[in-house]
Amino acid sequence: MQIIERSRVFNGHYKVNQLIVQDGDKQLKREQFAPGKAVAALVYDTARQVYVLTRQFRIGPEAEILEIAAGMIDGDEAPETAVRREIHEELGYEVDKLEKIVDMWPSPGTSSELITVYYAEVSDKTGEGGGLAEENENIEMVELSWKALVSEPLQDAKTVLAVQWVRLRK
């Protein structure tokens, strides 16, 4: 298969492309959700020995979801810079240690979104967290012990992936 044509059919908060794909002698039209590149991190406060996650309303499930800190990469910003910024904006922490877990395509059948997932250790809370007012974020910080984290019924794929990664190393 080869993409022979690409056009932007929606250019709102998120983007949608229409692709013409050549598959042998057939041409297929496909829509592609194109939100951009993102970062996410499972954050562990080493001083307090708790995992710090976020709970916020998400448009996809139309509900509040418990998940790891996450956000979009701005322009040509490095993923490491973006994840440190997001951890500070959402949780109020400075990062002591950062380890990349994986680059993942959460829904490759329909979306071009690439998420770089990290494990972050923190100990110094220098900000309020909760997100940015100008981005209309209303983020609740949720602290969980290891036992509470692994017994939580997680629904977000990047969060499940990060927690499983830690489980394999604990």
pLDDT in tens, 33-69: 999 999 999 999 999 999 999 999 999 999 999 999 9
Range of the domain at 131: 36-169
Q: Mind giving me the DSSP string for 83-120?
A: HHHHHHHHH-EEEEEEEEEEEE-S-TTTB--EEEEEEE
Q: What is the CATH number of the domain that holds 160?
A: 3.90.79.10
CB 102 within 8 A of CB 166: no
If you average pLDDT over every residue of the chain, what do you get? 94
Residue 27 has what pLDDT? 96
Tell whether 90 is in a known binding site: yes
Cα–chain-centroid distance for residue 135? 16
Tell whether 89 is in a known binding site: no
Do residues 106 and 28 both lie within one domain? no
pLDDT in tens, 79-109: 999 999 999 999 999 999 999 999 999 999 9
Instruction: At 116, list the tokens.
Output: 């770089």
Number of Cβ within 10 Å of residue 68's Cβ equals 28
Give the C-alpha separation, 92 to 103, whole Å.
Answer: 24
Q: How many domains does the chain have?
A: 2
